[in-house]
Structure 1
Amino acid sequence: MFNLYTFAYFRSGLCKLWNVPDCSLVRTLRGHNTNVGAISFHPQATLTLEETDVNMASCAADGSVKLWSLDSDEPVADIEGHSMRVARVAWHPSGRFLGTTCYDNSWRLWDLEVQEEILHQEGHSKGVHDLHFHPDGSLAGTGGLDSFGRIWDLRTGRCVMFLEGHLKEIYGINFSPNGYHVATGSGDNTCKVWDLRKRTCIYTIPAHQNLLSSVKFQRKSEQALSTAGDSMETALYQCHIGPGRRRLICVWLLHKCGLNL
């Protein structure tokens, strides 16, 4: 039987890991010295529990990126190369590669088996905030502080689609489970859903009263999309693919500050 975990990260540099559903503290991860921007589980995080196995990755405002095991309080390894704030870490579906976004206007792809950087992209004119990989592993989507999203072909390293339409920074990007659509969340308080085959935005959702910090499709459904932001709420939408066809299902008012999904 697999254990389920959830985590939180703090401006102090600490990360905490809890069991679900009893919410008992498993451990406190100590390694960062400043504001932690994100932590992400490896796609097969619960399959191994050896101290040397990498189960999680985290990043912080000082440019540090650390790899963790579920069975240790200390980092397994550090990824060095960023000199400015790293906003997000994202695992490639294969589990071999890790993507990082940085406020130096670039994002990078790392091969963890050989501990090397294999891709360094500088297509955004401002900092890159979020990153998500296509389910089949062939594409990556990035959201930037320049208000644009970009879709990258990992086989060639080139940008193959430009997502233009948001009026402010893009803080969240997420591919749908079937890979045909991608959602973006912005500081303009809207979520946009884009059709990758038609290469166009199919609808815009005025999701929150303040900026959106995160967007995410339900893992096994094309019709459920959740958004979160600085309006202290999380919203769940039912999205039928087609222009304007979306419906708000519910809104949770659970937090006293902004949140990420």
Structure 2
Amino acid sequence: MKRVVRQSKFRHVFGQAVKNDQCYDDIRVSRVTWDSTFCSVNPKFVAIIVEASGGGAFLVLPLHKAGRIDKSYPTVCGHTGPVLDIEWCPHNDQVIASGSEDSTVMVWQIPENGLVTSMSEPIVTLEGHSKRVGIVAWHPTARNVLLSAGCDNQIIIWNVGTGEALIYLEDQHPDLIYSVSWNRNGSLICTACKDKAVRVIDPRKNTIVAQNMEEPMGLNEMDTSNGVLLPFYDADCNVVYLCGKGDSSIRYFEITDEAPYIHFLNMFTSKEPQRGMGYMPKRGLDVNKCEIARFFKLHERKCEPVVMTVPRKSDLFQDDLYPDTAGPDPALEAEEWIDGKNGDPTTVSLKNGYVPTKNREMKVVKKNILDSKVTKNAENSCPGNKSASPTPSISEAKLEEILKEIKSLKDLISSQEKRIIKLEDQMSKIAI
């Protein structure tokens, strides 16, 4: 009997590293022992966590800036401890979040053409964790919603637009949280914990929907090292890529609705082991070359793009490889999501290639008790004015600087008052 080979358009996907002149060289990739990707990419920039003295830093490079990166190249360097995780906002290609050993999350607005000088002032600092923050993950469809997980075994979901915490998940994990990911519409999160349990959680109800799945739907054992596997899932093609940290391979599988569910496709291997990996969103790929995935593999001193391609003879657009994919426009605002609304990703066609739109600048309006009173007073005094322009927030560093200046002025006034009293006392003695 002839053996029946399963038909799949991804059976012949092959990976290829780019030429040396298209790599990013002479980068001091972070040596921190943490199991995040250390790299995040989007259609404009590649960001890489790097070694930094006296704090934490990461590089942000425009994609076209390949070649040797000068040691004096500016970095994003506002954290006081090593940076552990970074992730670009899916709805704004110039906004990136970072989590650090200093227990804070910072959100940064990168200039349109990249950094000219080092950046130490984030647009907002999110404080709520008591231990280091090792995971940051943006909501896939709601604007300004960001999740962070720390070594305090706690997950916090933030509204970055107001700088406030929306949800605290404090009691769901008895041990260290290894990874967190949102589902496609952001209604649920899935977590992996040191207690060897996988939990599916409804964050708005603070309830576990599923946990301790005893029997897997499919099982595929791999001959791999003891390093961590970094998974990347292509929801458009139902292909999952597994990149071993400390390994030198990328394995990829197709996921189907029928048993055995998991189908091994192929494996890309190279000589150098990877220390981290970035994964390009679909809208950043070259559809003219039938590119279905692009990875940014971190070596000890460089970042090497690896391109995954489906071989096709035709030059025409391949509809079956590129269904409409998640675009940069959010489906919901943060307030709508917290009120219980869900929205699937807003999709875009890649038929003519993705054309980026101009990103609007991110505004952060810190809320305080007086906000509602001030707004009401403004509305009462100006009935014709329906919307009040938000007051720009002052960063904590700037606030501290102002407070120090106020204190020094008060001290100066106090010393001058003492001097005046002393002089007046001398005057009274002379008058007598």
What is the aligned partner in structure 2 of residue 231 from structure 1?
246
Q: Which has the higher helix share?
A: 2
Specify the structure having the higher radius of gyration (Cα).
Answer: 2
Q: Superposed, which structure 2 residues align to 1:101-140 within 5 Å?
A: 101-121=149-169, 122-140=171-189
Give the Cα separation in 2 of the matches to 1:107 and 1:146.
Answer: 16
Aligned with 1:204 (options 219, 223, 236): 219
The structure-2 alpha-carbon separation of the partners of 1:240 and 1:78, relative to structure 1 and needing over 3 Å to count, comes to: closer
Give the Cα separation in 2 of the matches to 1:155 and 1:89.
Answer: 18
- Alignment of 1:8 onto 2:25: no
What is the aligned partner in structure 2 of residue 20 from structure 1?
63
TM-score (normalised: structure 2): 0.47
The percent of aligned pairs where both chains have the same amino acid is 20
Give the Cα separation in 2 of the matches to 1:150 and 1:133.
Answer: 12
For residue 104 of structure 2, what is the amino acid of its counterpart?
Answer: S
Kept in 1: contact 2:59–2:75 (CA 8 A): yes
What is the aligned partner in structure 2 of residue 160 from structure 1?
209
Q: Which has the higher strand share?
A: 1
Q: Superposed, which structure 2 residues align to 1:1-261 within 5 Å?
A: 4-12=44-52, 13-23=56-66, 27-46=74-93, 55-71=95-111, 73-74=119-120, 75-93=122-140, 94-121=142-169, 122-164=171-213, 201-207=216-222, 208-222=224-238, 224-241=239-256, 242-243=259-260, 245-253=262-270, 255-256=272-273, 258-261=275-278
> Which runs of 5 or more structure 1 residues have no equivalent in the other structure?
50-54, 166-199
The offset of 1:21, in angstroms, is: 4.2
The offset of 1:81, in angstroms, is: 1.0
User: What SS class does the counterpart of residue 57 from structure 1 fall into?
Assistant: strand
User: What SS class does the counterpart of residue 45 from structure 1 fall into?
Assistant: coil
Give the Cα separation in 1 of the matches to 2:108 and 2:188.
Answer: 26
Give the Cα separation in 2 of the matches to 1:216 and 1:157.
Answer: 26
What is the aligned partner in structure 2 of residue 196 from structure 1?
none
For residue 164 of structure 2, what is the amino acid of its counterpart?
Answer: E
The offset of 1:243, in angstroms, is: 2.3
Give deviations 1:10-39, integer Å, cap 9, x for gaps. 353110011224437684111122221110
Instruction: Name the structure, 1 or 2, with higher relative contact order (CA <8 Å, separation 6+).
Output: 2
> Which runs of 5 or more structure 2 residues have no equivalent in the other structure?
1-41, 279-432
- Note the aligned Cα RMSD (angstroms): 2.4
Give the Cα separation in 2 of the matches to 1:209 and 1:147.
Answer: 19
Give the Cα separation in 1 of the matches to 2:173 and 2:183.
Answer: 19
Kept in 2: contact 1:232–1:253 (CA 8 A): no
The structure-2 alpha-carbon separation of the partners of 1:204 and 1:36, relative to structure 1 and needing over 3 Å to count, comes to: farther
The offset of 1:137, in angstroms, is: 1.4
The offset of 1:103, in angstroms, is: 1.2
Give the Cα separation in 2 of the matches to 1:143 and 1:220.
Answer: 24
Give the Cα separation in 1 of the matches to 2:262 and 2:179.
Answer: 26
Q: How many residues align?
A: 218
Kept in 1: contact 2:246–2:275 (CA 8 A): yes
The offset of 1:256, in angstroms, is: 4.1
The offset of 1:212, in angstroms, is: 2.2
Give the Cα separation in 2 of the matches to 1:255 and 1:45.
Answer: 33
TM-score (normalised: structure 1): 0.74
The structure-2 alpha-carbon separation of the partners of 1:6 and 1:20, relative to structure 1 and needing over 3 Å to count, comes to: same
The structure-2 alpha-carbon separation of the partners of 1:243 and 1:219, relative to structure 1 and needing over 3 Å to count, comes to: closer
Give the Cα separation in 2 of the matches to 1:211 and 1:141.
Answer: 21
